Amino acid sequence: MSTLYSILDRPGALLLLLIALSLMIGQAAALVLSLKEKQSGRQTPAAALHMLAGFLFFVFLLNSYDIVSFPQTQGASINPESLPFSLSWLCYAFLEALFACFLMLQFRDYRRYKKSTVTPNAIRQTVDLLPEGICISDQNGTALLSNLTMDALCRELTGERPADVHRLWARLEADGEDQSGKRLIRTSRGEVWLFSRGAITADGKDYDRTSAVNVNERYHITEELREKNAQLQDIQHRMKEASALSSEMFVKQEEAAARTALHNELGQVLLMGRHCIEHPDSTDAALVALITKQMNRFLLGEPKASDPNAGDELQQAVHMAGSIGVTVEMTGEAPK
């Protein structure tokens, strides 16, 4: 069976060397990911030991390949009978297979760790995918954290990334609409955003939080409600005017009906009285007087208790007729 020394000058040795180089790169990547995601204390040291073993194995194969392939190297020689070189090349291939299996287990654990653990990178991606804009800044206004939505809004409003939050808020105060301390602004794309800010505390330090929420749909609904409310107020005003006009018309109609009835009744009384005066022989004066008295009581109502200052019944009748718009003209002396 071929030993490692016997294949060092053949393409098989170069293949082993390339595989060892690939494994070492993968082991380094696994270690970097473990350190970046701050995995458990067991996984990170295991990844470091695995990378160290892979690195030493790659260096051993590289030196052995250089010594055999380039004999002009001064002071370098290999004893073919020594233990590392007398072993079968299959042992080294098996060792590389073990390294590959262990590397796959590391990446599998890393994938499980990412699925079961909230990592800083996952938090960052989640914040970037939020439809709302979020920006965290220090007390001086310097932005420390900003998601993609806030970046896009700040670029559209100020022309640059949210480096200075105070400048962004000054633009909002200049062009935005005040909403109880919050600022409502419309972008060039026709969207309406509501900006607000507050204070948060983390690790004993105070920070400013600026957020933006898309209220485009709610804003349009509010505008429609305002227009409908204005229309309803106009309709209500018209209804009040119509109600007042109808009430006035009803009163005038009643007054006109009362005047017409009064004129008719008075006309009949006057005709009866005239007929009684012109034809006393053919008229019952007592009956005419009774009918006239009943008609006056019906139209003018019963008189109140006698008042020495109120005048006689005829004067009271004339006064009551005048109160409803009827003018009574008398010529000569009133009959007793």
Q: What is the pLDDT of residues 74-110, one digit of tens each?
A: 555 677 777 788 888 888 899 999 999 999 988 888 8
| Range with the largest mean pLDDT of 31-40, 108-117, 222-231, 275-284 | 222-231
Side-chain half-sphere CA neighbours of 239 within 13 A: 6
Do the Cβ atoms of 54 and 27 come closer than 8 Å?
yes
d(CA 273, CA 254): 28
Share of the chain above pLDDT 90, in %: 8
Round the CA-based radius of gyration of the chain to a whole number and report it.
Answer: 55
Place of tokens 């898309």: 214
pLDDT at 304 over 50: no
Residues 163-189 as b or e (16 or more Cβ within 10 Å = b): ebbeebbebbeeebeeeeebbebeeee
Do the Cβ atoms of 90 and 7 come closer than 8 Å?
no
**Strand, coil or helix: what is 158?**
helix
pLDDT at 34 over 60: yes
Helix (H) or strand (E) holding 7: none
DSSP-assigned states of every residue in 97-116: HHHHHHHHHHHHHHHHHHHH
Quote the tokens at residue 274.
């005239």
Question: What pLDDT score was predicted for residue 310?
Answer: 45
Average pLDDT, the chain: 80
Helix (H) or strand (E) holding 134: strand 133-137
Question: What pLDDT score was predicted for residue 53?
Answer: 92
Question: What pLDDT score was predicted for residue 98?
Answer: 93
Task: Write out pLDDT tens, residues 199-208.
Answer: 888 888 888 9
Question: What pLDDT score was predicted for residue 305?
Answer: 46
Question: What pLDDT score was predicted for residue 301?
Answer: 60
pLDDT at 284 over 80: no
Task: Write out pLDDT tens, residues 175-213.
Answer: 888 888 888 888 888 888 899 988 888 888 888 999 998
Comparing C-alpha atoms, which of 157, 152, 158, 141 is closest to residue 210?
A: 141
Bridge partners for 200 per DSSP: 207
Do the Cβ atoms of 215 and 194 come closer than 8 Å?
yes
C-alpha distances out from residue 21 to 5, 47, 62, 78, Å = 19, 16, 9, 22
Do the Cβ atoms of 193 and 210 come closer than 8 Å?
no
Helix (H) or strand (E) holding 211: strand 205-214
d(CA 32, CA 6): 37
Task: Write out pLDDT tens, residues 117-129.
Answer: 766 677 777 788 8
> Considering the entire predicted model, what is its pTM?
0.42
The CATH architecture annotation of domain 130-214 reads: 2-Layer Sandwich (3.30)
For the chain, the domains span 5-117, 130-214, 225-323
- In this prediction, residues 144-167 reach a mean pLDDT of 85
- In this prediction, residues 106-116 reach a mean pLDDT of 81
**Strand, coil or helix: what is 179?**
strand
Task: Write out pLDDT tens, residues 306-323.
Answer: 445 445 667 767 766 665
Residue type, 3: T
Bridge partners for 211 per DSSP: 134, 196
Question: What pLDDT score was predicted for residue 76?
Answer: 58
- In this prediction, residues 60-74 reach a mean pLDDT of 73
DSSP-assigned states of every residue in 213-253: EE-HHHHHHHHHHHHHHHHHHHHHHHHHHHHHHHHHHHHHH
Task: Write out pLDDT tens, residues 244-272.
Answer: 787 778 878 888 887 787 777 777 777 77
Residue 315, sorted as left (phi over 0), alpha (psi -120 to 50) or beta, turns out to be alpha
Question: What pLDDT score was predicted for residue 146?
Answer: 87
